[in-house]
Amino acid sequence: MIAIVLGTRPEIIKMSPIIRECEARNLDYFILHSGQHYSYEMDRAFFEDLELPEPKYNLDVGSGTHAGQTAKIMAGVEDVLIKESPDIVLVQGDTNTVIAGVLAAAKLHIRVGHIEAGLRSFDRTMPEEINRVVADHVSDYLFAPTETARQYLLAEGIEENKICVTGNTIVDAVLQNQELSKKKADILDTLGLAPREYVLVTAHRQENVDSPENLWNIAAGLEAVHREYSLPVIFPMHPRTRKMVERFAIPLDGISVMSPVGFLEFLQLESNARLVLTDSGGVQEEACILGVPCITLRSNTERPETIEVGANILAGTGASEILAFARQMLAQPKSWQNPYGDGIAGRMIVTICRGLSRGRKTSIKSGTPGYGIQAQATKTS
């Protein structure tokens, strides 16, 4: 049995290929939702839009401090895992749900697979970085999205036979959901937008939105981009960001703020944008895959591949830097190659997990360098 533990919007998106693969193979699995994202817009709508089965369990933990939220999730996950006794627990990414799921499973001696393992910003002031590092060193099987991620894991002393380079499930999710998006959403018409004639923005990270200075500078940079290019700046605003904008009385001149949208609508907005500005790791990947230039509103990134291929650039939060890098990204050709694989990551991961649950060796072969690593398991009593 496979347990899929998730709790946030990005996890739902990136786990959707895993869930669909389990459904297609009629495997014994269940979904446990921590409730870390708990509003309709940030959670329930995603299951409905992506046509995914409802979670079997929902812990409804809601918000809280990092320690408080993690503790609630860990206790809830432990109860479910004791009841269900799965062969392997799958987590994805770097959230409090991930670290809680990994620790609960490991302490119950249940094998853990970490999807999107090996990402590093090398900035321990980010809570996500701490979650990534701990999850990787506790997990039994590390599904790295790229060879760079694999090298980071090896450099930290993690055994090679625990690591498999699979590509990133975000490629699967984008490819699978683009067609679904065309059938179910038409947000450009709704908003009166023309393809390649607007700028798309997301911002939600604590270091940006909880800082009056950073949030003010980001808004000023966006206003400068709007003024120079006369393009609408579309900002589906995270509830946390909206709260801080109101608390700090941040001016939003030239910025069109809207409520968060479902993934299918966001995918349409993203794929048709002239430029994306974000502090989200997942959006950096998606923009790269979709061929849309991206500016990251941070001083570091755990997605260096997007920068190496020329799809992304780090701007920090200074208003003048945001405008300067917008000029640079809009002027250069958009001819990079997607570094995140060919859209079969979900299939590879489920194949490995199926072998693990049967207690036998599993080997995934691919013609792409770095993909032929064995994941080994022995049956436990």
For the segment 277-283, the average pLDDT, to the nearest whole number, is 96
The bridge status of strand 312-314 relative to strand 362-363 is unpaired
Can you say whether residue 192 is alpha, beta or left, with left for phi > 0 and alpha for psi between -120 and 50 degrees? left
Tell whether 128 and 64 lie within a shared domain. yes
The question of whether 204 is a catalytic residue gets the answer yes
Q: Stretch 221-231: mean pLDDT, rounded? A: 98
Q: What single DSSP character describes residue 161?
A: G
Whether residues 76 and 125 fall in one domain:
yes
**pLDDT tens digits along 328-358:** 999 999 899 999 999 999 999 999 998 876 6
Residues 285 and 358: their CA atoms lie apart, in Å, by 33
Is 336 a member of any domain? no
**Do 322 and 346 fall into the same domain?**
no
Residues 364 and 290 grouped into a single domain: no
- Residues 302 and 209 placed together within one structural domain of the fold: yes
If asked whether residues 327 and 345 sit together in one domain, one would say: no
Domain of 257, CATH number, reads 3.40.50.2000
Q: How many CB atoms lie within 10 A of CB 38?
A: 18
Q: Is 26 within a domain? A: yes
Of 73, 71, 67, the residue nearest 8 (C-alpha): 73
If asked whether residues 51 and 141 sit together in one domain, one would say yes
Please give the pLDDT value at position 195.
97
Claim to verify: residue 152 and residue 217 sit in the same structural domain: no
Angle at Cα 206 formed by Cα 140 and Cα 59, nearest 5°? Answer: 55
Residue 316 lies in a domain: yes
As a whole number of angstroms, the distance between CA 84 and CA 234 comes to 44
Structure tokens at 359: 């207690």
**Total tally of structural domains belonging to the chain:** 2
Per the residue annotation, which of 33, 37, 114, 204 is the catalytic one? 204
Contact 168, 146 (CB under 8 A): yes
The pLDDT, as a whole number, for residue 62 is: 82
Look over the chain and give the mean of its residue pLDDT values, rounded to a whole number. Answer: 91
Domain-located, residue 177: no
What is the residue range of 310's domain?
183-331
pLDDT category at 204 given cuts 50, 70, 90 is very high
Query: How crowded is residue 331: how many other Cβ atoms within 10 Å of its Cβ?
Result: 8
Domain co-membership, 268 together with 288: yes
Are 161 and 21 members of one domain? Answer: yes
Instruction: Identify whether 176 is part of a domain.
Output: no
How confident is the model at residue 107, as a pLDDT? 98
Sheet strands side by side (includes 2-6) = 57-58, 29-33, 2-6, 88-92, 111-115, 141-144, 163-165
- pLDDT tens per residue across span 162-187: 999 999 999 999 999 988 888 887 99
| C-alpha 225, offset from chain centre | 26
Q: Which pLDDT band, with edges at 50, 70 and 90, does 45 fall under?
A: confident
High-pLDDT (> 90) share of the chain, %: 81
| 107 and 150 fall within a common domain | yes
Quick: pLDDT tens for 357-378: 665 444 433 333 333 333 332 2
Q: Is 255 helix (H, G, I), strand (E, B) or coil?
A: strand
Average pLDDT over residues 124-137: 95
Residue 253 and residue 191 in one domain? yes
Task: Establish if 381 belongs to a structural domain.
Answer: no
Please tell me the distance from the alpha carbon of residue 224 to that of residue 251, in angstroms, as a whole number.
Answer: 13
